[in-house]
Amino acid sequence: MHAIGIPSRQTDFISYEHEFKNVVQELNQKGMAIEGAVFGHIQTHDGLVKRICADLGVKLILPLWKRDSEQIISDLLKAGFETIIISAKANLLGKEWLGRSIDNKFVNDLRKFNRAIDPCGEDGEFHTFVIDGPLFRNRLKIVDSKKTLEDGYWRMNFSRFEVEEK
């Protein structure tokens, strides 16, 4: 919210579908009139997001659908986004990958490590967090975090972050 200038909403996680639908329904009840939903999926979960959007009566937007993962990363970097890994499947990646920047070396390093891992983590191999970009008014800086192993995933749990002015 402080970095991008739009409200954010954090919820308890029951299921992705359940939470997503609840938030959209609550926003609509408050008069927000949600008309569409944008998902960053590339090759998976289209059935899920089609069902979610159909149930909510909103337009499904999949701007990255069937695009090349390496090209997506290249475009992301060219656009000026800064992204880090905050979660990784423990049977594929070690905790040393947590906090790793998605930078110009990332794809090559990942390919050398394991060619089967999608550079965008499309198959759930890892998850990312954007800390800065052209849409951001301010940059996020992680000040304190702890790496934990939970349910087969290494997770980077933030206990403190700061908002840095650009």
Q: Write the pLDDT tens digit of every residue in 96-135.
A: 999 999 999 999 999 999 999 999 999 999 999 999 999 9
Q: What is the pLDDT of residues 6-33, one digit of tens each?
A: 777 767 667 889 999 999 999 999 999 9
User: Cα(51)–Cα(69) distance, rounded to whole angstroms?
Assistant: 24
* Residue 86 pLDDT exceeds 90: yes
Confidence of residue 4 (pLDDT cuts 50, 70, 90): confident
Contact 161, 143 (CB under 8 A): yes
Q: How far apart are CA 68 and CA 118, in angstroms?
A: 10
What global pTM score does this model have? 0.85
Give CA–CA dist 48/129, Å, rounded: 22
Write out pLDDT tens, residues 33-67. Answer: 999 999 999 998 889 999 999 999 999 999 999 99
Q: Is the pLDDT of residue 5 over 80?
A: no
Indicate the SS3 state at residue 126.
strand
**Where does the chain hold its CATH 3.90.1490.10 domain(s)?**
69-165
Q: What is the pLDDT of residues 127-147, one digit of tens each?
A: 999 999 999 999 999 999 999
- Residue 2 in this model has a pLDDT that exceeds 70: no
For residue 130, the one-letter residue type is V
Superfamily of structural domain 69-165: putative n-type atp pyrophosphatase, domain 2 (3.90.1490.10)
Nearest one of 120, 27, 105 to 71, comparing CA atoms:
120
- Spatial distance between the Cα atoms of 163 and 143, rounded to a whole number of angstroms: 10
